[in-house]
Structure 1
């Protein structure tokens, strides 16, 4: 009885510490009952994604420990005159960069910058809204280009459509979302103006007349080189194994603590979801149900499936039952909005905020869900109008 009680307490603590990882593990374990482990499990996990995320975390951790993010956030705070401008700058940067380095890479790189910049500016109360906006920006910006996210890369390959066609299909949705995002930030700034007039030029604990702290170039170059290697991996020029080896070697040579700051819980969350999705795709009754549902409803099924299993596996699953590629492309891209797991990239920003400010998790989840559902509804209306 005592051992059972202790196990229950440990399980409760596990859920409290990392609810997303805990849920992912439960789903993966439950799916293993329906599909017992076999050799097919080896094909479930996208090790390229795991390796790339690991390497990016090492690179950004190294840059942060070298002082790059601290200097960058101070420069950004000094350049922005209000909370709204600062949040808009962060969201805009994420929106455009995600088009060329993918949504997850953009969030791994810029969420730590946002956390540091808003903390230095005394805007911790607006962190949840800012990170939610950046997450939306990453998802709606990345949908525009063939290399912006994994589902676009996959669908471009299996559909036979050209890159120009893909951009043409997604341009109205990405543009509309950009306008909506700017409006949301503007409205939030107006509502906050009574309580917050402008960002003070002097940050807490810093004398604005004091000379800027410097860092040695030799401390930064290894992490810049690793970041460039990650970008080459995104472009499929450098193999992921080489990037992972470089990340570990550079950390061991220059700063072992960069390895300690990797969010291993997030990596295990991805692995658990890969197992769950892989097993679900092998359950015959599920496949038959999908075949019946998809016919003539590729866009809607893509959206709904994305809310449950995320948009990348949804794209893979639904693509086996339709040739309406434009509809599926739109469905899984706008379907990345909505629930927290609709896009696995959204887990990145949630995890980073939760680790830095665990007291903001509930507030962030509410803001994230409300903002994402509003954007999803608006883009669904746009899809209906275009159709």
Structure 2
């Protein structure tokens, strides 16, 4: 609104001249105003004195200020309703919210920050974090090679290749690259207390054995016999075939015992192959203790069940098998990678082969007290406390 050349005092003085008897035309000509302006002044300030005019002007200014405040409050409410479906808890989300308010509602940065209660320093901050292009590329390559690995195992693989990074950084890059793997989880049921089987923390203390099923591209089904060392988590054998009888199972176990040694116990379910006469005769002849889990309790053979789940998730669900020879080749390569290159979370992210080597070295030192005594005398200041064989729960 254009500011008037006349103040309230001057306007009231002009009106007083006309009220004193001076013709309106002469008053307008004297002060250089039009008759329309004169009558507009009279409609607004007629019958007022100077104090009344000042009070009216103050009320008008206050009314305009209240209107502006009301309009701003209504605009803020509309903006907040627009942002109601969005969560701006992180700095990135707050920056996006401020940019949205500035572009959509024409707000200034200061006002937009006041609306969402954000600090302007945080809004203006620009990250100086390096792009890590090489690390991101290698992480994507590893995730492409091992599509069912999470960020923890990928982090171990990166550390083995010489990329010294923090685990949280690997997790952040893993999430930003969109490499997260969806876990298929079954419904958990409450279980009662049970007494776990106690085994010594040494190789061959206990083996687990079970079958896993799959099919070829032609639709023909086949099965894989998995034999696991429960302590070292090594896969001793994974034997694919279209049919595996009890005699075949006994023959494969005998072959493994020839180069591995006899286990203290073998655990399995009540499958027909394991309860057959051929298996019963073999266990008696070989002198191997065989333990059957309770019916309907597969978690009593949980280590082998977990291995079966990893095999299905990382190999069977990701591979199309054409024939039996192809299945044997692929399964053999995967078992080698599982034992020698795949970090295992239950072993402190060591590979099963590396963990078995540490257990074997500890076992040899404990069996040779002279060697242990010489090592303790040679380094008295850094003597390590060797743990004897203690029963460990593996149920």
Structure of greater Rg: 2
Same structural fold, with TM-score higher than 0.5 when normalized by the shorter chain: no
Higher-helix-fraction structure: 1
RCO (CA 8 Å, sep 6+): is it higher in 1 or 2? Answer: 1
TM score, norm. by length of structure 1: 0.25
